[in-house]
Amino acid sequence: MMKNIFIYPNLRKDSARDILQPVCDQLRRDGVRLMLPKQMRVVPPIIEDADYMKTEDAVQFADMAVVLGGDGTMLRLAREAAQNQLPLLGINVGHVGFMTELEPAELPEMEKLFTGEFSLDSRMMLHVAVQRGGRIVYENDALNDIVIAKGTAFRVVCVGISADNEEVTRFNGDGVIAATPTGSTAYGLSAGGPVIEPSAENIAVIPICAHALAAKSFVFAPERSVSITAACEGGSEVFISADGGQGFAVRPDDRVIITRSDLQTRLIRLKGNSFYRILQQKL
């Protein structure tokens, strides 16, 4: 039974605050502890019987997290949740909500959390390390994708891609995306990349607006170590971002090394919908 439940709303969405009270009402049980982010202590609605605590503390104590938002909100919590093997249940108050499980009208489905009628969907993550002069200057993990892109609109990025130290391809363009199967239906899809079912656990590398007809996407086995170099014409900056987070400036001599992460994101499934059914509903 899920006894310690962390509720993580996107406070920038009125719709997330609107369903907070109904979500708490559905989850209340004898012996169940509800936790909310500390900053919500002064943000209505005030949940009187909840414990307010820092997110980094809550993810250590909780048995699961209920995320009120869209895919972006799920991504913001995914890394900390994965580090603590914390399962996530998403309730969609965003736009697409591909990773979320429930819509606001489906809150009664949460009863299954207490009857054991749910499954856990483990999702592969990526690890990225930027190597500069023989040392690592940046590291991160991502559930969706690692994006390397130009910082100036009117410049071209020269991209080189290798797998296990063997050159694969070079091209000029706006940048490159390295995506998990989960991320293959996000930015990678809009850039013309393949849709990969989650159980395949491959690494997709997708050019962004390549300036060559021959530039193609590649799908690598999960055990590959993918190395990327990127330099912008005229010395303009190139940035790397994990799951849309804060950018880190990459230098021309840096090597961006992408591998399968040791972390996994665990998503709670209550309805038993297949990946293909979700794909048809959401896209």
* Residues catalogued as catalytic: 71
Question: Does residue 277 have a known ligand-binding role?
Answer: no
Question: Does residue 164 have a known ligand-binding role?
Answer: no
Q: Taking a C-beta distance cutoff of 8 angstroms, is the pair 166, 158 a contact?
A: no
Which residues neighbour 212 within 8 Å (Cβ) at sequence distance 6 or greater? Answer: 171, 172, 173
Rounded CA-CA distance 181/238 in Å is 25
Q: Is 231 exposed, middle or buried (0-12, 13-18, 19+ CB in 10 A)?
A: middle
Question: Does residue 70 have a known ligand-binding role?
Answer: no
Question: Does residue 52 have a known ligand-binding role?
Answer: no
Residue 222 dihedral angles phi and psi, to the nearest 5°: -65, -20
Question: Does residue 72 have a known ligand-binding role?
Answer: yes
Strand order in the sheet with 238-242: 218-220, 203-208, 175-179, 145-150, 238-242, 248-250
Question: Does residue 15 have a known ligand-binding role?
Answer: no
Structure tokens at 265: 């994101």
Annotated binding site for NAD(+): 71-72, 76, 144-145, 155, 174, 185-190
Annotated binding site: 71-72, 76, 144-145, 155, 174, 185-190
